[in-house]
Amino acid sequence: MNSGDTAWVLVSAALVLLMTPGLAFFYGGMVRSRGVLNMLMMSIGSIGVVGVLWALIGYSTAFGSDVGGLGLLGNPAEFFGLGQLLGKDQLSGTVPTLAFVGFQAMFAIVTVALISGAIADRARFGPWLLFAGLWAVVVYFPVAHWVFAFDTKDDAGNVTAVGGWIANRLAAIDFAGGTAVHINAGAAALALALVLGKRKGWPKDPGKPHNLPFVVLGAGLLWFGWFGFNAGSALAANTTAAVTLVNTLVATSAAMLGWLLVERIRDGHATTLGAASGIVAGLVAITPACSSVSPLGAIAIGAITGAVCALAVSLKYKFGYDDSLDVVGVHLVGGVMGTLLIGLFASSAAPAGVDGLFYGGGLDQLWRQAVGAGAVLVYSFVLSLVLALLVKAVVGFRVSAEDEAVGIDETEHAETAYHFGDGRSVRRSPVPADEVERKLEGSRA
Amino acid sequence: MKLVTAIVQPSKLDDLKEELGRLGVLGMTVSQVQGYGRQKGHTEVYRGAEYAVDFIEKLRVEVLVDESNVDKVVDGIVSAARTGRVGDGKVWVTSVDTVVRVRTGETGVEAI
């Protein structure tokens, strides 16, 4: 065990957890004031559901011994409950396996939370939690196995334990989750938006963001946490972590500028929401690529993706699906861009050690990237569609039209986010008011 | 007696107050209002989606003046409130039958 590596992975895990509340603010600021708490709750709820499922079967399904040797699924029973991993000798590389378990748990959590941006203001909270749990088990855990579980090899190079097919057989590069996290969540978001349908009044009234400072706060927390997401994925305090950290900085900076440039040309103004959105698009794009490109390549990937995503968010108006907060436009499109651009900009000078098309590597890496992206996209979309239809049929997924008009915070959570003025309210509780009065009298006596 | 009512940009209130003070106007009533004129509010853009915001924040300033002072008060308001851009507002003058000071019962010009 290496204590420096362990410290970095533990700190990175905490950074990545912060991304989920950060995402909650990023999304929460973008909805109307009457739905902000529900938006926050869909992210916070994901922490609850996925946090528990990860300990039960999630880690085991993603990183347990491959069932059947095809690289499709880990054995869910192998590490059920994680009790097998408490010993001092339980190491994963140079860090305790549980450090890796915790780090990867945060990925599962934030991936599920990402989906919720597509269904703002209209999904019932209980069915969302049900979908979140089902989706984590049926879609995320297996896909994490495909992408993140590497073969174990002995000193002679022979495979002793089989890992996921995308990481090993296909050898597509996805350093920190462009396919497993962003394409995966984006495709699921598209499926959910289609199953749930449009918000009342959309697209005539797309719902103006009620608090852009929240959006920027959320984007800032995401960026901060994302250094753990990407640089932590090195699983060591080493050169790879440093390269990925710098690439995460510069790609994101360029993406913000790319998005703002498109806005300035198209709409006449560089907007705050555009800057925050560009930041997230850049983070998404560099996630798969951060270990395989030079900082100049990262700038190119960021700038291209920032501009493309700024254009892609209008696709929903063209095709008529209400992806409320642009999970498809930012995460699916951004994830596909980052994954494919590896095939062009990868440089063997970077830690991943592969040359893309522009560095003399031909089309070899590009097709590997495309197959990986396409497989995850199709798998996630189809399974998400089935799960969403199942939840809809069994328990119902959408709030009533009346509840949607009143506001989902009040009808689903019995709360409102903002209280201006003194609006009269009277306490209604199980304890009769006169009994409270008597107690107060007693304490004064 | 006349009531001069002006709808002005909120940012011009200090200039307006200063100008009216210079002209000897001793009091005014200011209220926050919303409205639009020919230009119909403004447009906001969020991720390329345009939102029309019809009602814009303005201030309504009301001043009671003696008839002999009306022209210079109106001119003063117009010059103080003007930015030259769309949305600078309007000023209008209406006749007032009676004015009574509540504290003393004085009426007419004395009560202004």
Chain B nearest C-alpha distance from A210 (Å): 11
Q: How confident is the model at residue A435 (pLDDT cuts 50, 70, 90)?
A: confident
Q: Do A263 and B45 touch (CB under 8 A)?
A: yes
Question: Which CATH fold topology does A3-413 show?
Answer: Ammonium transporter fold (1.10.3430)
Residue A384's closest CA among A126, A198, A112, A164? A112
Q: What is the CA radius of gyration of chain A?
A: 23
Residue A190 has pLDDT above 80, yes or no: yes
SS3 of A324, please?
Answer: coil
Q: Which residues of A touch B50 (CB under 8 A)?
A: 267
Q: Return the pLDDT at A445.
A: 60
Q: Return the pLDDT at B33.
A: 96
> Using an 8 Å Cβ cutoff, are A317 and A330 in contact?
no
| pLDDT average, residue stretch A23-32 | 98
- Which two three-digit tokens encode residue A207? 């719902």
Segment A274-314, tens digit of pLDDT: 999 999 999 999 999 999 999 999 999 999 999 999 999 99
Residue A247 has pLDDT above 90, yes or no: yes
d(CA B99, CA B12): 28
Q: Which residues of B touch A263 (CB under 8 A)?
A: 45, 48
Residue A421 has pLDDT above 80, yes or no: no
Q: Is B52 on the interface with A (CB under 8 A)?
A: no
Pairs of CB atoms within 8 A across A/B = 30
Q: Is B43 on the interface with A (CB under 8 A)?
A: no
Strands B42-46 and A159-161, sheet pairing: unpaired
Q: Return the pLDDT at B52.
A: 86
Q: Is pTM beyond 0.95 here?
A: no
| Helix (H) or strand (E) segment spanning residue B75 | helix B70-81
Domains in chain B, CATH or no CATH each: 2-111 (3.30.70.120)
End-to-end CA distance of chain A: 64
Chain A nearest C-alpha distance from B83 (Å): 22
Q: How confident is the model at residue A331 (pLDDT cuts 50, 70, 90)?
A: very high
Q: Is A323 on the interface with B (CB under 8 A)?
A: no
Residues above pLDDT 70, as percent of chain B: 100
Which residues lie closer than 8 Å to A306 by C-beta, 6 or more apart?
A254, A255, A256, A257, A258, A259, A262, A278, A281, A282, A285
| pLDDT average, residue stretch A423-437 | 74
Strands B29-35 and A95-96, sheet pairing: unpaired
Q: Which residues of B touch A271 (CB under 8 A)?
A: 45-46
**Nearest chain B residue (CA) to A269:** B45
**Which residue from A269, A277, A326 is facing B45, i.e. has the nearest CB?**
A269
Segment A348-369, tens digit of pLDDT: 999 999 999 999 999 999 999 9
| pLDDT average, residue stretch A320-335 | 97
| CA angle A323–A327–A331, rounded 5-degree value | 150
Cα A55 off chain centre by: 19
> What is each CA distance from A312 to A181, A199, A317, in whole angstroms?
19, 20, 10
- The pLDDT mean for chain A works out to 95
Q: Return the pLDDT at A398.
A: 97
Q: Which residues of B touch A208 (CB under 8 A)?
A: 44, 46, 51
- Which two three-digit tokens encode residue A327? 């999970």
Phi, then psi, of A91 in degrees rounded to 5: -115, 150
Q: Is A310 on the interface with B (CB under 8 A)?
A: yes
Residue A214 has pLDDT above 90, yes or no: yes
Q: Return the pLDDT at A413.
A: 97
Q: Return the pLDDT at A444.
A: 67
Q: How confident is the model at residue A79 (pLDDT cuts 50, 70, 90)?
A: very high
Q: Is A200 on the interface with B (CB under 8 A)?
A: no
Segment B69-95, tens digit of pLDDT: 999 999 999 999 999 988 899 999 999
> Using an 8 Å Cβ cutoff, are A58 and A141 in contact?
yes
